[in-house]
Structure 1
Amino acid sequence: MANLEAQHAAARDRILKHMNADHGDSVKRYVEHGKDASFLQARDARMTDISLTEMRIRYGGKEAVIPFEPPMKSMREARERLVQLDKEAREALGRSDISITEFIPCTAHLGHFMNFTTCLITYALFCRSGNFRPGSVLFDNVLVRFPQFTNFCFSIQPYLFPIMIAIHSVEAYMMAQKMKRHSVTPVQRPWWLWVGTCFVEGVTSFWRLGGLIDKKRKQKEAKVH
């Protein structure tokens, strides 16, 4: 009897350590789905106990008790049950089975870096029409030598800047939605990096994210096989 209890306790400790260390996103989803918690409430979720009948999770100063229905017969069933519960949570929350935990900067791709730099310079130059008139540092030191180009830039500035802001705002919103789907929230650093760089560079950030997702999916499929 004592031996069985020791085995049970050892299995419990292994599961808790593994879930909190390697599957924190799943633990957060359990309470988001099972207890209708917000991502802010679930941000510090940790599994504190698991038995044949339930698991307990601390989050946002609360404790969630999520039952196993039907109860497990042994701890050997825990992996299958936890995977199934996570699948149900992902489907209900509209989340992907691929979680994003890292950020790929534009410097990883020359073309993406050039696009980022071009967009950033455009933001800086076209944020005000005064940049293209005498008295500005840009005009007096550079643009005075290119009057035709300067006049053209001055004429399109009232249209180009707001259109660029509008388009990139929509793209940043789309990126935020993709972050949500891949279990990245505004309380995490990668969310701000992906959404922020998307606001600057637009489409190339989606290309990098797509490549990262494809890489993770292939790695996941390779583990299955």
Structure 2
Amino acid sequence: MAEKSTDDAALKARVIAHMNKDHKKSLSHYLQHYSKLPPAIADTAELTNISLSRITLSTRSSSTGTETTYLPIRPSPMQNLSESRERLVYMANECLTGLGLSPYVIKTYAPPGIVGVVVMVSVLVGTWAFAAKGNLAEGSFVRVYLLQNYHPLADLLMKTHLIGLVSIVAIHLAECIHLQRTRLRKHQVETFSKVWWLWMMSGSLEGFGVFTRFDKEVEEVIKAKTH
């Protein structure tokens, strides 16, 4: 009996260490889904104990300090700790579904090709051109080299430059919001990380192309996991 107790204690210690080292995101998802904690607090989660019927998690926040949360083992209590992996994976997948997240995590950024770069430069030039009337005035770079001194069009753009500027900003801001809601969050790209900023900057300038590129990255991750 003493040997079995020692084995259980060793297994428990391994499970706790493994979860805290390699599956911090799953611990956060447990608290976000089951306890409805905000990500900022849930991301501080540490597994402190596991029994046959529940796991114990601690969290920290500046307002409440350290708090303890007890979550029941799902879908049912374990008969022994050797079942812990099966149960914890089940709970992780249940949380992903409940939170609207994908198990296929994107950790890299794919740069645009030549077409994408051309689009990004065009958007930058267009934004700059509409930013001030002077950028479309007589003798300006835009009027002379881009519009080939086609004055009727240049004059119209000068009169409507604010509408053009607001339209460009609004369209690309909407694309960024859509990228975040439908792709970055779903595939667990950490907000404000380097990879997140790269995707968002591309989204703010490139538009449709960034969605296609991101979807290809997801396809590659799926292929890697299924082969």
TM-score for both structures, normalised by structure 2: 0.80
Matched, 1:179 2:180: no
* Runs of 4 or more consecutive aligned structure 1 residues displaced over 4 Å after TM superposition: 143-147
1:47 positional shift = 2.4
Give yes or no for contact 1:28–1:43 (8 Å, CA) kept in 2: yes
Question: Which of 123, 130, 137 does residue 133 from structure 1 map onto?
Answer: 137
Matched, 1:78 2:78: no
List alignment gaps of at least 5 residues for structure 1.
none
List alignment gaps of at least 5 residues for structure 2.
61-65
Q: Percent of pairs identical after alignment? A: 25
Matched, 1:193 2:194: no
Cα separation, partners in 2 of 1:158 and 1:83, compared to 1, 3 Å: same
Measure the CA separation in 1 of the matches of 2:72 and 2:210.
41
1:85 positional shift = 0.8
1:173 positional shift = 0.9
Quote the residue 2:212 is aligned against: 207
1:149 positional shift = 4.5
Aligned residue for 1:44, secondary structure, equals coil
Measure the CA separation in 1 of the matches of 2:40 and 2:101.
17
Quote the residue 1:3 is aligned against: 3
Give yes or no for contact 1:57–1:63 (8 Å, CA) kept in 2: yes
Quote the residue 2:124 is aligned against: 120
What is the CA deviation profile of residues 104-132 of structure 1, one whole-angstrom value per residue up to 9, with x for unaligned ones?
333xx333233223322322332222212
Measure the CA separation in 1 of the matches of 2:38 and 2:189.
13
Give yes or no for contact 1:120–1:201 (8 Å, CA) kept in 2: no
Measure the CA separation in 2 of the matches of 1:114 and 1:6.
65
Give yes or no for contact 2:203–2:210 (8 Å, CA) kept in 1: yes
What letter matches 1:100 in structure 2?
Answer: I
Give yes or no for contact 1:53–1:72 (8 Å, CA) kept in 2: yes
Question: Which of 134, 159, 164 does residue 168 from structure 2 map onto?
Answer: 164
Quote the residue 2:21 is aligned against: 21
Kindly tell me the number of residue pairs found equivalent between the two proteins: 215
Cα separation, partners in 2 of 1:145 and 1:167, compared to 1, 3 Å: closer
Give yes or no for contact 1:103–1:194 (8 Å, CA) kept in 2: yes
Cα separation, partners in 2 of 1:198 and 1:28, compared to 1, 3 Å: same
What is the CA deviation profile of residues 178-216 of structure 1, one whole-angstrom value per residue up to 9, with x for unaligned ones?
222223353544333322321121112212211111111
Measure the CA separation in 1 of the matches of 2:188 and 2:11.
28
Give yes or no for contact 2:143–2:154 (8 Å, CA) kept in 1: no
Measure the CA separation in 1 of the matches of 2:15 and 2:128.
52
What letter matches 1:148 in structure 2?
Answer: N
Higher helix share: 1
Give yes or no for contact 2:202–2:210 (8 Å, CA) kept in 1: yes
Higher mean displacement: 14-23 or 124-133: 14-23
Measure the CA separation in 1 of the matches of 2:34 and 2:218.
27
Cα separation, partners in 2 of 1:166 and 1:48, compared to 1, 3 Å: same
Measure the CA separation in 1 of the matches of 2:45 and 2:196.
18
Quote the residue 1:57 is aligned against: 57
Cα separation, partners in 2 of 1:100 and 1:172, compared to 1, 3 Å: same
Measure the CA separation in 2 of the matches of 1:4 and 1:47.
23
Measure the CA separation in 1 of the matches of 2:111 and 2:13.
38
Give yes or no for contact 1:43–1:187 (8 Å, CA) kept in 2: no
